[in-house]
Amino acid sequence: MTTTLAVDTSTVVAAAIAVDGRIVASARVDDTRAHAEELMPLVQRVAAEAGVALADVERIVAGVGPGPFTGLRVGVVTALTLAEVLAVPVAGACSLDAVAAEWASAGAPEEFLVVSDARRKEVFWARYDGAGRRLSGPDVAAPDTLPALPLAGPGAHLVGAVTGPTQLDAGWLAAADLPDAGLEPLYLRRPDAEVPTRVKSALPQPRLSLRRTR
């Protein structure tokens, strides 16, 4: 029996427990600005609902995005820290793949898109076949540039009418056999805040004077 804990902070705060590929507890906190405060209490909550002690977790999966810089790194770092403390393996999965797996399990169209909000009038997206296999992406683009295909995901409403799952259920990160995406967060673009590459001098600059010569 394998007990898997999954966490995801690519959009809101989500956590789940699966046992032998079966989702036994899954929950989320619909807050895009409180990942650090809400994630560990949520992990403890789903473990309690599943009747599983954290010490009994044998595997951890982290949703690695794509997503905004600050929120996304909270989930990845938390997963890595828990894996270190519990001495269990940890893997990363594309967060959009979890939405695709859920739709595929319920009978998805032959091809479809999974979309999340990237802010700045852009979306993160990936293209899938009816079995939930990723065909292209993830990528970031303006909503009006995406292919005209059925839509799912927490940002799909920014593109058009949504016919698939509208939220990411971390249970599918825990239960589905998703491709290993590594543990490097999928930011897909540079963060808003960057470390300056040039050092500014605090010393007063000399004033230059120009003399006209004959």
pLDDT digits (tens, 9 = 90+) for 111-157: 999 999 999 999 999 999 999 999 999 999 999 999 999 999 999 99
User: Is 136 part of any domain?
Assistant: yes
The answer to whether 151 and 99 have CB atoms below 8 angstroms apart is no
User: Is 103 part of any domain?
Assistant: yes
Q: Are residues 66 and 101 in the same domain?
A: no
User: Is 180 part of any domain?
Assistant: no
Produce one character per residue of 186-206: b if its CB has 16 or more CB atoms within 10 Å, e if not: bbbeeeeeeeeeeeeeeeeee
User: Is 201 part of any domain?
Assistant: no
For residue 185 the two structure tokens come to: 């967060």
153-211 pLDDT per residue, tens: 999 999 999 999 999 999 999 999 999 999 999 999 765 544 455 555 455 555 544 45
User: Is 140 part of any domain?
Assistant: yes
Per-residue confidence (pLDDT) for residue 194, from 0 to 100: 47
Q: Which domain holds residue 150?
A: 97-158
Q: Among residues of the chain, what percentage have pLDDT more than 90?
A: 83
Number of domains making up the chain: 2
d(CA 43, CA 56): 13
63-101 pLDDT per residue, tens: 999 998 889 999 999 999 999 999 999 999 999 999 999
The pTM score is 0.88
Q: Are residues 68 and 15 in the same domain?
A: yes
Question: What CATH number did the domain enclosing 18 receive?
Answer: 3.30.420.40
Per-residue confidence (pLDDT) for residue 193, from 0 to 100: 46
Q: Are residues 85 and 108 in the same domain?
A: no
User: Is 122 part of any domain?
Assistant: yes
Q: Are residues 128 and 47 in the same domain?
A: no
Q: Are residues 90 and 42 in the same domain?
A: yes
Nearest in space to 24 (alpha carbons), one of 168, 147, 171: 171
